[in-house]
Amino acid sequence: MSENKTKNPPMDRKVKALDYFKDWSNYLLVTTVAALGWVSKEVDIFHIPWLRYICIASFGLSIIFAILTLALIPHVSEQITDTVTSIYDVEVEHYYIRKRKKRYHHLRDACFPQHILFLIGILAFAIGTA
């Protein structure tokens, strides 16, 4: 019986996980915006100037993916079912208006680049200011 719970958790656990995910995404977005503002303002702290531009670009792109991540969350909550094993497995339908073609997106499509770009920005900052 416990094996079944790990494969397919109850609906309330999935909704709670999505709520935690939303909170985490919000915190990371606010942190990234603050980091972008600070790095953009501080010119003299970088010993390797081109890494400042990498840092700014990474944080800026991370913010874009954070907004896309947060935009997907309501759609995931609408389409989550008992058969889904994880919030990351929910397929969010998206139609292209011009082509009328159906596409599917998952949370990881937006949150993975968000996290990677944030980490690249942190790494660029650490190396550029060391």
Give per-residue pLDDT as tens, 18-37.
Answer: 999 999 999 999 999 999 99
Domain that holds residue 69: 2-129
Q: How far apart are CA 68 and CA 60, in angstroms?
A: 13
For 122, the token pair is 């942190």
> What mean pLDDT is predicted for residues 35-44?
91
pTM here is 0.84
Instruction: State the total domains in the chain.
Output: 1
- The pLDDT of residue 115 is 97
pLDDT band at residue 73 using 50, 70 and 90 as cut-offs: very high
